[in-house]
Every structure is written in C-alpha cells, then in structure tokens.
Amino acid sequence: MRATHAGFNSAFVYSALALALVPGFGLAVGLAMHLAFGWSLGRWWPVVVQIHGHAQVFGWLALFIMGVSLFFLPRFSGVPLRFPSLPRWICALLVLGILSRSVALFWFNAASAPAARGLFGFSALLEIAAIWLYVALIYLSIRRAESRHKAIRAVRPYLAGALLGWVLCGAVVGISAVLAAWSTGALFDQGWNLLGIDFFTGLVLLPVAFAFSIRTFPLYLRLPAARWPVRLFAMLYFAAFALEIIPVAVGLVDFPLGVRLQTVHALGRLCKGVLLLALIWHLDLLTRSKSPWTAGREGDPPAVPRLHPVPRSHFPDYGEFGHFEWPVYMAYIWLLAAGLCEIYSAVALLSGAFIAFDASVLRHMYLGGFGTLLLLGMAPRMVPGFLGIRRLAYPRLVALSFYLGGSAMLFRVLPYLLSFAPTALPSRLATHLFGLSGVLGFLAVAVLAVNLWTSMHRPRGLKTSD
C-alpha cells in the first residue's frame, strides 16, 4: 500500500522570509550603516546585534531547514510523519518565540522592566518546545525507516548528528536565556549565545546541507552519484567538530586546561578544514571532472524531432527555475574559502602566530556565504516542486538574487580578510563596501521573496496536478 504523506507547509517559507526581511537582514542594514557610515545606534547597538543574529539563525535558516526536512525526509525514508498536524505548531511556536525574544530585548533595554525578563524567559521556552518537538518528529521518521532503505541509509549519520545539534543549540540558547531571565544581570551571555550558534552551524546547518547535497545534487545538477565513503566522512566530520567545540564549551566554565585545550581545538579545526575540502572534491560540484550519474543511460538519440525544448547542458530542467545553480556554486566556493580559513587558523594557533581575522568572519562565511546563498539557489528550485508548481513566475530573478547576495557577502567579508594583507583596501572604501553589504543582502532576500510569493499564488492552471 502506498504511503500517504502530508503536503508541504508553506508557513515555514513565509515565516522564514518575513523574519529574514525584518529582524534579520532588515536590522543588518542598520548595523552595517552604523559601522560603515557612523549612523550611531547608541545603547541599542548590542540589542540590535542580538536580535539580528538570532533571527538570521533561528528564523531565516532554521525555519527553512525545518520546513524542507519535514516535507522531504518522510518521503526520503518512506515513512509518513507520525503527527502530520504538528509542523504548523512547530512553526508557530518558533516564530512566536523569536518575536517575543525581540520584543523583550527592546523592552528591557528601554525600561529594564521585570515583565521584560519574564517575556524573555517565556520566549526561550517557546523556542525550546518548537525545536524539541521538531527533533521528536524527525527522529520518529528516521527510526521507523527500514535500515536497508538505500535513500536514507547513507545519510542517516548526518541526520542523527543534526538532531543532536538541534537539541544542543536549543538547550544552550534556550536554557541560558531562561537562567538570564531569572537573574538580575544582563539578559544574555554572549559566550553561551555564540556557543549555541556554533552548535547550529557545525551540527545542524553543515550536516543537513551535506546530506541534501549528497542525495539531491546528482538529480538537480547532474553530478556523479556518491560512490565514496559517505558514512565514514560523517563520522570523521563529527569527530573533528567535537575536537573543535569541546574546548570552547569547557572554556566557558573556566576549566583549567589552557594550552592543551587550545591544541585540541586547533587540531579539530585543521581536520574540519581538510574534510570540507575533501567533501567539495568528492561532490564534484566545482570541478565537474567526473561523469554524471546519467552517463550511459540516455540511450540513442530520438529518431524523430523533439516535441519539447532540449534541456540545459548538465541539467535536467529547461530553465524554468532560472540559474538556481549559480548561488549553489557560490555557496560552495564560500565553503571552500571557509575550509581554507579553518586550516590557516589552525596552523596559526599551533604555531603561536597571529590570526588575521576573528571568529565572526568565519561565522558569516558559514551562515551567510554558505547558508544564505545555498538557500537563494535551492529554495527557488525545490519549493515550487514541493507545491506542485511547474515553473517560477520570474526565472530571471534568480540571477538577480545571486548577484545581490554574492556581492553582499563579498563586501561583508572581503574587507576583514584583506585588512591585514599587504593589498588591504583603503579604509574608506572598505567601510563603504561593508555598509553596502547590508542593503544588498536585504535586497537579495526581498527578490527571492517576491519570486516565491508570486509563483506560489499564480493561477492553478500554471501548477502541476495534485
């Protein structure tokens, strides 16, 4: 009997785009202007930074990951969701938690009202509930899948690690927020907050992206099927990340290991950087040096003229989803750059040399350069198909999103990377580029939002049959 799966919940897409445009990239415009053009935010600066970062991670990226995985993984594993009505509650709880947290931070900074602390703690409980409900729902789908199911077996370690990452980042960010709400000090601890973001980046964003890339890129981009040790790579990656992150977590509780911890941390980053480069090589996305999985399967050319257009070279589509591959390529170029920076930083730590950039640059490479650009490419390709839409309303807008998003990330990171180089940019030019990055990032997501919204609300005649 054929399994009946729940449809795609578009509320995740709408919510992710709304949170990205207002507290996410919207506030990024103000932050960039503050740093680049001296538009002072005064005492609101730390509040805006906190709201912006939280909305970017748990609103923009997390909601998209949740929505896609709740639709895709049950079909992937052959097991329908145990509770198909639960996703809408997960989305509502997380959105309400993010908005409540934002209001509480603004309120507390304005008046230091005790009620603001209560709202802050309540928002953390909402987010914890949303994340752990999501973890439980996905876990049931993975656990009930047959162990020999080919589609899920290879990437099961990535998904299991991602579930652990969800639990850890939710616990660190949520519980630290609850404790802060009960205390009399600041409403958030920057160290624990960054640890939660690092858990999300290293255990959720990257493993989920790796799993989807391994399973879907051969289909969408005509790449070779994964015939390399995919499961072993997952184990090595998680081991490297553990070496990297455990010293950071231990350092937050003032555990006295000092130099030994730094050495372990550096070795973890070195291994992680090498593994990222190895993954990019095996995916063959940037090199295309191997034959695609379709090689030898196309058969003889048709004896009669084609009735339909010829598909694009290297792709199974006809351009109805735009150049979605451009942001994907750029995302993996940023991942390549992040891997090289990890190796450089690790070598510098081991040798006692000076690191020419801080950790925030790498976080922006992962979250903005890799995560955001990957969404700018895969969202217009996957979401229409999930909703039975044959083509985007404006395929050419995908290229515009790519140019805007790619420029935004370049202007955001490049001034920092070149600031210590012999060819450093003039300070005035660097600050202006930095200020422009916030505006370009906002516009890139706005273009994506317009394209998806218009496509999702076109007449039914332009959609595939249900």
Residue 374 tokens, joined: 């990957």
**DSSP labels for 171-215?**
HHHHHHHHHHHHSSS-S--HHHHHHHHHHHIIIIIHHHHHHHHHH
Q: What is the pLDDT of residue 295?
A: 65
Q: What is the pLDDT of residue 429?
A: 76
pTM of the predicted model, to two decimals?
0.91
Q: What is the pLDDT of residue 272?
A: 98
Write the DSSP symbol of residue 186. -
Q: What is the pLDDT of residue 465?
A: 38
Q: How many helices (H) and strands (E) does the chain have?
A: 17, 0
Residue 397 tokens, joined: 């807008």
The CA distances from residue 125 to 86, 119, 372, in Å, are: 17, 10, 27
Q: What is the pLDDT of residue 291?
A: 77
Q: What is the pLDDT of residue 1?
A: 44
Q: What is the pLDDT along the chain (466 residues), one digit of tens a residue?
A: 456 787 899 999 999 999 999 999 988 888 777 766 767 777 787 888 889 999 999 999 999 999 999 998 888 877 888 889 999 999 999 999 999 999 998 888 777 778 888 999 999 999 999 999 999 999 988 787 665 566 688 899 999 999 999 999 999 999 988 888 887 666 667 888 899 999 999 999 999 999 999 999 998 998 888 889 999 999 999 999 999 999 999 888 876 656 678 899 999 999 999 999 999 999 999 988 887 777 666 554 444 444 456 778 778 888 899 999 999 999 999 999 999 999 999 999 999 887 777 788 999 999 999 999 999 999 999 999 898 888 999 999 999 999 999 999 999 888 777 765 555 556 677 777 888 898 999 999 999 999 999 999 876 545 543 3
Largest Cα–Cα separation, the chain = 79
Measure the CA–CA gap between 371 and 62, rounded to whole angstroms: 10
Measure the CA–CA gap between 378 and 249, rounded to whole angstroms: 33
Measure the CA–CA gap between 100 and 169, rounded to whole angstroms: 18
